[in-house]
Amino acid sequence: MTVTPLITRPEGLYCPAGDFHIDPVRPVARALITHGHADHARAGHGAVLATAQTLDIMALRYGEGFTQSRQVADGQVRIGDVTVSFHPAGHVLGSAQIKVAGVGPSVVVTGDYARQPNAACAPWEPVPCDIFVTEATFALPVFRHPDPLAEIGKLLASVAAFPDRAHLVGAYALGKAQRVIMLLRQAGYDAPIYIHGALQKLCDYHLSQGVPLGDLRPATVARGKKGDFAGAIIIAPPSAFAATWAQRFPDPVICFASGWMMVRARARQRGVELPLVISDHVDWPELTATITELNPSETWVTHGREDAILRWCALQGRVARPLRLVGYEDEPE
């Protein structure tokens, strides 16, 4: 009888042979965390094993007491009867896929991952496995993400076309904001970029980790007349756009950087004038290519739009099943 290395529990994925959970949605005794986004990394666990950067990010977000005990994932780590290892996922700074081996088939749990180049974090690496546990955030054939530098080109063209207007770019605080900044720098934009105060700690941390974000200045401090921000690029969490904070800028062009901006209805709902399709997840071609390249014996789907990828696997003669894990959001992208 084949041993099942991971099972689902209300808390999330659980490894009986190691007595730990991966990205649990409730406090547990021992948690292995793939990355620092709040739907995967929660405070209150007894012990946490993660990359050094993810542990730092959790401490920045939740305070130093976010767990009773923390351990940096460095090389192979023996836990109970299994060995675990962490491998870059290309999603955000510190993000990792977790490989579990030693009892039954080997498993790789991706967390969230991306294959497009991202100068704000280490690139995704293929990790051979028997069971591939993948997200399905953009697992529909319609999702084919464009070149992110071309999207940044749209932003810069708008800045040039409307020099009297500020451009407010909605981007989530961990990962997306820093990626947008790095894309602007890669495109040759070396002017100061203004950031909302909610982004300051995480941007400072990226700088400390060698990510060259360039000249960043606070957009939360009044600079006098509205015209002082004419022609400027300001990055802020999307929630800030509904506050009076956004009213300090001259006739702002509202932008939003997300893979979901491919869906025009979402852009309209948010009042977005300039949607920027920039995603930190795999799209349909990347997801299907990853499964093909890794060629696992089984593919498990954690969360997202699972029906299409399950059907694709069936047509390819591949074994796949949904885990239907709850608690992982698809909007903070």
Residue 130 sits in a domain of what CATH number?
3.60.15.10
Give the contacts of 203 (CB within 8 A, at least 6 positions apart): 177, 178, 181, 195, 213, 216
The whole-model pTM stands at: 0.94
182 — phi, psi (to 5°)?
-65, -35
Q: What is the pLDDT along the chain (333 residues), one digit of tens a residue?
A: 467 899 999 999 999 999 999 999 999 999 999 999 999 999 999 999 999 999 999 999 999 999 999 999 999 999 999 999 999 999 999 999 999 999 999 999 999 999 999 999 999 999 999 999 999 999 999 999 999 999 999 999 999 999 999 999 999 999 999 999 999 999 999 999 999 999 999 999 999 999 999 999 999 655 556 667 999 999 999 989 877 888 889 899 999 999 999 998 988 988 899 999 999 999 999 999 999 999 999 999 998 889 999 999 999 999 999 998 877 765 444
Query: 309 and 185 in one domain?
Result: no
Which CATH number do you get for residue 168? 3.40.50
Query: 41 and 106 in one domain?
Result: yes
On whether the CB atoms of residues 76 and 96 are closer than 8 A, the answer is no
Specify if 130 maps to a domain: yes
CA-to-CA distance for 320 and 309, rounded, in angstroms? 9
Domain hosting residue 316, numbered range: 7-142+281-322
Query: 93 and 30 in one domain?
Result: yes
Instruction: Tell me how far CA of residue 17 lies from CA of 8, 64, 86, 222, in angstroms.
Output: 14, 29, 18, 56
Query: 289 and 262 in one domain?
Result: no
Count of domains in the chain?
2
Query: 234 and 307 in one domain?
Result: no
Which of residues 242, 260, 276 is at a domain's end?
276
Specify if 328 maps to a domain: no
Specify if 308 maps to a domain: yes
Query: 11 and 47 in one domain?
Result: yes
